[in-house]
Amino acid sequence: MKAAVLREVRTPLQIEDVQINKPGPHEVLIRTAAAGVCHSDLHFIEGSYPHPLPAVLGHESAGVVEQVGSEVRTVKPGDHVITCLSAFCGHCEFCLTGHMSLCVSPETKRGQDDEPRLTSKKGPMMQYLNLSSFAEQMLIHEHACVAIRKDMPLDRAALIGCGVMTGVGAAMHTSNVRPGDTVAVIGCGGVGLAAINGAAIAGAGRIIAIDMAPGKENMVKAFGATDFICAATSADVVKEVIEMTKGGVQHSFEAIGLSKTAEQAFNMLRRGGTANIIGMIPVGQTITLMGAAFLGEKRIQGSLMGSNRFPVDMPRLVDFYMSGKLHLDDMISRRIKLEDVNDAFTEMKTGAVARSVIVFDA
């Protein structure tokens, strides 16, 4: 099969022929239909986060089940599925206490003595984030995908697999936005737009979107934002948010991955507010907060994949899309072929696109 391979950091992905194994007892072979080009992949390409190489990248995807292992009970051949990088074992402490997205059990991967899921003529190929979806097929653990209704377009379903689940889940699960709450979202790419949409679905009374690109105002309001601040022209974003809300927001979401914006997310909170860091701040970077602010019971916390329970959450998000509540159509900036993936990352750096989606031929 054709796959986009990262062999060395800070170099373009290479389109190569990669061999894929047959499903083990708890594994599923999927024909990839679509894969979103996510900023998280760029972090690994640029070396901000380490990963064993060579690896087939990609982690935001949807497809059709082709084969299943002997013990698989959750999906069957022909099912349309969304994948999820937070594969779960189902019986560790995290899973049994309802925190499946935090599961790190090695059971969802193949052991060192097992045949690798992916290989090339040059040797074993590393699987990326349990998925490796920049490829015509995926071989994954059954608890890394969920079946969805077949009338859901798979190019839009792919977005739910990471960016949408991360943003919507951060609002609904991690921070528990309630009806009437005030919200600020810093960074209005795919994840930020999803956080805005999730906060709107949850009933937030005011949603302030913040981005460097002035041209995004109409887009963020289409996703549910009530206000827009262009950070490029604002003298002081934090001050502006506090003045607009007469004291600060109850929930803030940082969806870029920078120390400065993480600090801003905390500083724009009202007393008792919660800052949620969704963006991937590069390894080794730190943030600085004023200690006295904690006397006002302000909180700062991380959010991993929207604190999801994806076998339940993703089919519900599909229903939200089909009923018009979840806005996915406008999130896709363009549809591309696998061979165009490096151009998509170049365009991503401009900040002008929400999502590029690789669409594979049927």
Closest listed residue to residue 142, CA positions, set 60, 76, 98: 76
Q: Of 38, 89, 103, 188, which is the active-site residue?
A: 38
> Lowest-confidence range among 201-215, 279-293, 340-354?
340-354
Give pLDDT tens digits for 240-284: 999 999 999 999 999 999 999 999 999 999 999 999 999 999 888
Query: Are residues 185 and 82 located together in one domain of the fold?
Result: no
Confidence (pLDDT) at 270 = 97
Confidence (pLDDT) at 355 = 85
Whether 181 is covered by a domain: the verdict is: yes
- 293 band by pLDDT with thresholds 50, 70 and 90: confident
Query: Are residues 14 and 132 located together in one domain of the fold?
Result: yes
Q: Is the pLDDT of residue 331 over 70?
A: yes
Whether 171 is covered by a domain: the verdict is: no
Residue finishing a domain among 257, 276, 302: 302
Instruction: Give the CA radius of gyration of the chain.
Output: 20
Task: Read off the pLDDT of each residue in 14-40 and give the average, rounded to a whole number.
Answer: 96
The span from the first CA to the last CA of the chain, in angstroms, equals 14
Query: Are residues 15 and 134 located together in one domain of the fold?
Result: yes
Please report how the helices 259-267 and 237-245 are oriented relative to each other, as an axis angle in degrees rounded to 10: 20
Average pLDDT, the chain: 95
- The answer to whether 196 touches 209, Cβ cutoff 8 Å, is yes
Q: Of 26, 59, 80, 141, which is the active-site residue?
A: 59
DSSP 148-175: E-TTS-HHHHHHIIIIIHHHHHIIIIIS
Confidence (pLDDT) at 122 = 87
Helix/strand/coil for 207: strand
Give pLDDT tens digits for 120-149: 998 889 999 999 999 999 999 999 999 999
Place of tokens 């708890």: 26
Whether 216 is covered by a domain: the verdict is: yes
Consecutive H or E run containing 262: helix 259-267
- The answer to whether 204 touches 196, Cβ cutoff 8 Å, is no
Q: Strands (DSSP E) along 256-337, which ranges?
A: 269-277, 299-302, 332-336
Q: Of 43, 80, 141, 251, which is the active-site residue?
A: 43
- The answer to whether 126 touches 118, Cβ cutoff 8 Å, is yes
Phi first, then psi, for residue 212 (nearest 5°) are -75, -25
40 in catalytic set: yes
Choice between 169 and 38, residue whose per-residue pLDDT is larger: 169
38 in catalytic set: yes
Query: Are residues 206 and 252 located together in one domain of the fold?
Result: yes
Instruction: Record the tokens describing residue 320, joined without a space.
Output: 């939200």
Query: Are residues 204 and 139 located together in one domain of the fold?
Result: no
CA atoms of 338 and 22, how far apart (whole Å): 23
Whether 262 is covered by a domain: the verdict is: yes
Task: Read off the pLDDT of each residue in 338-346 and give the average, rounded to a whole number.
Answer: 95
Closest listed residue to residue 56, CA positions, set 134, 119, 110, 121: 134
143 in catalytic set: no
Whether 169 is covered by a domain: the verdict is: no
Confidence (pLDDT) at 362 = 46
303 in catalytic set: no
Residue type, 158: A
Q: Of 89, 95, 145, 162, which is the active-site residue?
A: 162
Q: Of 26, 39, 40, 132, which is the active-site residue?
A: 40
59 in catalytic set: yes
Quote the domain boundaries for residue 156: 2-162+307-359
- The total number of structural domains in the chain stands at 2
Whether 167 is covered by a domain: the verdict is: no
Confidence (pLDDT) at 352 = 67
Query: Are residues 328 and 265 located together in one domain of the fold?
Result: no
Domain CATH for 223 = 3.40.50.720
Confidence (pLDDT) at 311 = 97
Query: Are residues 105 and 210 located together in one domain of the fold?
Result: no
Q: Is the pLDDT of residue 225 over 80?
A: yes
Burial-class residue 102 by CB neighbours within 10 Å (0-12, 13-18, 19+).
middle
Positive or negative: CA dihedral 101, 104, 105, 108: positive
Query: Are residues 193 and 152 located together in one domain of the fold?
Result: no
